[in-house]
Copies of this chain bind each other. A is one copy, B any other.
Amino acid sequence: MRRTDRYPVSGANSLWQVYKTVSFWKVFKNVLIILIGRFIPFMPLKNWLYRTFLGMDIGSYTSLAFMVMVDIMFPEKIKIGQNSIIGYNTTILAHEYLVEEYRLGNVEIGNEVMIGANSTILPGVKIGDRAVVAAGTVVHKDVPEGCFVGGNPMRIIYTKEEMDQRRKV
């Protein structure tokens, strides 16, 4: 189960009323920063920008590839460890806006994690150190450290033990 906090709304769906739940100017500023950041070809500059203006917690040497998309409403709920790679056009979400409620959840990505291109990380999940997420995966639950996951729905392809074994070969 993903760890999210739930906030019911009344009347129209939660996205229709979005600026009652988050400041328009905060979202506007975030979108501007992200639209610039997605095209910045220098990782250290991109990390500085996202730490400073989005409040994201990004560890040393972590590389956000071209076109990575972080949450435009609550990017400060995203934490990424050291020396990890987030692949091309991966989406990292910290919110979900549903018809009768919205939900917010922290995303925690560990150290030396590799996330493949076009993946979608949902709010409230934790991805353990040294895990590998295959391209195109929808991460809808926690990923144990060191294992290799992929698919939609996501499943474990190799456990940590199998991955350790494969590295020795």
Interfacial residues of chain A within 69-99, with CB under 8 A of chain B in the complex: 69, 72, 83-85, 87-89, 91, 93, 96-99
- Interface residue stretch chosen among A9-17, A48-56, A158-166: A9-17
A96 touching B84, Cβ below 8 Å? no
Q: So how many copies of this chain end up in the complex? A: 3
**Among B27, B62, B112, contact of A41 (Cβ-Cβ < 8 Å):** B27
In the assembled complex, how far is the CB of residue A28 from the closest CB belonging to chain B, in whole angstroms?
Answer: 7
In the assembled complex, how far is the CB of residue A81 from the closest CB belonging to chain B, in whole angstroms?
Answer: 12
Interfacial residues of chain A within 106-132, with CB under 8 A of chain B in the complex: 112, 114, 116-118, 120, 122, 130, 132
A117 touching B114, Cβ below 8 Å? no
A112 touching B83, Cβ below 8 Å? no
A136 on the interface (CB 8 Å rule)?
yes
A-B contacts, 24 of them at CB < 8 A, read: A15-B65, A15-B85, A16-B43, A16-B61, A16-B63, A18-B63, A24-B41, A27-B41, A28-B41, A63-B97, A84-B99, A87-B97, A91-B117, A93-B135, A99-B112, A117-B120, A118-B120, A118-B138, A134-B138, A134-B140, A136-B138, A137-B152, A140-B150, A150-B152
